[in-house]
Amino acid sequence: MFMLAITNATLVTISGPIIKKGTIILDGGKIVAVGKDLTIPSEAEVIDAEGKYVMPGLVEAHCHIGVMDFDRNDDDNQFDADGAPNGSAGFGPAVTPELMSYYSFNPRHVQVKQSLAAGVTTMLTRPGSGKIISGMGMVVKTYGKNRKEMVLLNPAEVKMALGENPKHNFGSRNQSPSTRMGSGALLRDAFIKAKAYMAKREKDPETPLNFQMEPLVKLLKGELVAHVHAHRADDIMMALRASDEFGFKLTIEHASEAHLLLDELKKRNVPCILGPSMARTKVETARKDFASAGILERAGIKVCITTDAGVVPQEYLRTCVCLCHRAGMSEAGALRAMTLTSAEIIGVADRLGSLDVGKDADVLVLNGHPLELMSQVEQVYVNGRLAFDIDRDKEAWEMA
- Polymer length of the chain: 400
Four-residue CA torsion sign, 228, 142, 149, 33: negative
Q: What average pLDDT score do residues 162-181 get?
A: 93
Q: Nearest 5°: phi and psi at 56?
A: -70, 155
In this structure, the strands spanning 385-389 and 120-125 are unpaired
Percent of the chain residues topping a pLDDT of 90: 86
SS3 assignment, position 4 = strand
The pTM assigned to this predicted structure is 0.93
Q: What average pLDDT score do residues 279-304 get?
A: 91
Q: What average pLDDT score do residues 8-17 get?
A: 98
Cα 70 to the chain's mean position, in Å? 18
Which of 5-14, 37-46, 210-219, 271-280 is least confident? 271-280
Q: How many whole angstroms separate alpha carbon 106 and alpha carbon 155?
A: 16
DSSP result, 318-364: HHHHHHHHHTT--HHHHHHTTTHHHHHHHT-TTTSSS--TTSB--EE
Mean pLDDT of the chain: 93
Q: Nearest 5°: phi and psi at 162?
A: -130, 165
Flag whether pLDDT at 101 surpasses 70. yes
Residue 386 is inside which H or E element, if any? strand 385-389
SS3 assignment, position 52 = coil
Q: How many whole angstroms separate alpha carbon 346 and alpha carbon 315?
A: 20
DSSP type of residue 24: E
Half-sphere exposure of 163 (CA within 13 A, CB side): 28
Cα angle for residues 306, 246, 80 (degrees, 5° grid): 35
**pLDDT given at position 198:** 98
**pLDDT given at position 80:** 45
Q: How many whole angstroms separate alpha carbon 129 and alpha carbon 84?
A: 9
Half-sphere exposure of 140 (CA within 13 A, CB side): 31
Cα angle for residues 279, 95, 261 (degrees, 5° grid): 45
Would you call 160 exposed, middle or buried from its count of C-beta atoms within 10 A (0-12, 13-18, 19+)? buried
**pLDDT given at position 28:** 95
Amino acid in the structure at residue 301: I
**pLDDT given at position 366:** 98
**pLDDT given at position 396:** 72
Flag whether pLDDT at 70 surpasses 80. no
Flag whether pLDDT at 398 surpasses 80. no
SS3 assignment, position 193 = helix
Residue 186 is inside which H or E element, if any? helix 180-203
Cα angle for residues 244, 274, 160 (degrees, 5° grid): 45
- Nearest Cα residue to 21 out of 2, 11, 8: 8
Amino acid in the structure at residue 396: A
**pLDDT given at position 286:** 84
Would you call 201 exposed, middle or buried from its count of C-beta atoms within 10 A (0-12, 13-18, 19+)? middle
Flag whether pLDDT at 283 surpasses 90. no
Q: Confidence band (pLDDT; 50, 70, 90) for 205?
A: very high
Torsion, Cα of 349, 354, 359, 361 (10° steps): 130
**pLDDT given at position 82:** 47
What does the pLDDT look like over 310-342, one tens digit per residue?
889 999 999 999 999 999 999 999 999 999 999
What does the pLDDT look like over 383-394, one tens digit per residue?
999 999 999 997
SS3 assignment, position 67 = coil
**pLDDT given at position 71:** 57
Flag whether pLDDT at 14 surpasses 90. yes
